[in-house]
């Protein structure tokens, strides 16, 4: 990581473990929680409100609109593939 650059990190999945990741991101000086997505839109909105970021109804716009550098997939294990593939395809 370059110390003079701010890295945009987004989270896919807003369950229990996502809170640990969001808190960790907030403690990294050159990182920013850029956006969140959840399979349940209300969950994403509540999570985003708590961490003062934006929720997205789809992964691709989350990646494009906030120039995401990294997506942390926090969905339940059976649901990892879809957000990982969508994030990779979005860049």
SS (H, E, C) the chain: CCCCCCEEEEEECCCHHHHHHHHHHHCCCCEEEEEEECCCHHHHHHHHHHHCCCEECCHHHHHHHCCCCEEEECCCHHHCHHHHHHHHHHC
The pTM of the full predicted model, rounded to 2 decimals, is 0.93
Residue-wise pLDDT for 20-70, tens only, equals 999 999 999 999 999 999 999 999 999 999 999 999 999 999 999 999 999
pLDDT at 1: 63
**Beta-bridge partner residues of 31:** 7
Residue 55 pairs in a beta bridge with 36
pLDDT-derived band of residue 19, with 50, 70 and 90 as boundaries?
very high
């Amino acid at each position: 990581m370059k110390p003079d650059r701010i890295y945009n990190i987004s989270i896919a999945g807003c369950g229990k473990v996502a809170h640990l990741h969001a808190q960790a991101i907030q403690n990294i000086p050159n990182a920013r929680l850029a956006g969140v997505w959840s399979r349940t839109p209300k969950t994403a909105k509540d999570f985003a409100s708590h961490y003062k970021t934006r929720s997205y109804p789809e992964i691709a716009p989350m990646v494009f609109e906030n120039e995401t550098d990294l997506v942390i997939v926090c969905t339940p294990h059976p649901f990892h593939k879809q957000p990982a593939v969508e994030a990779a395809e979005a860049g």
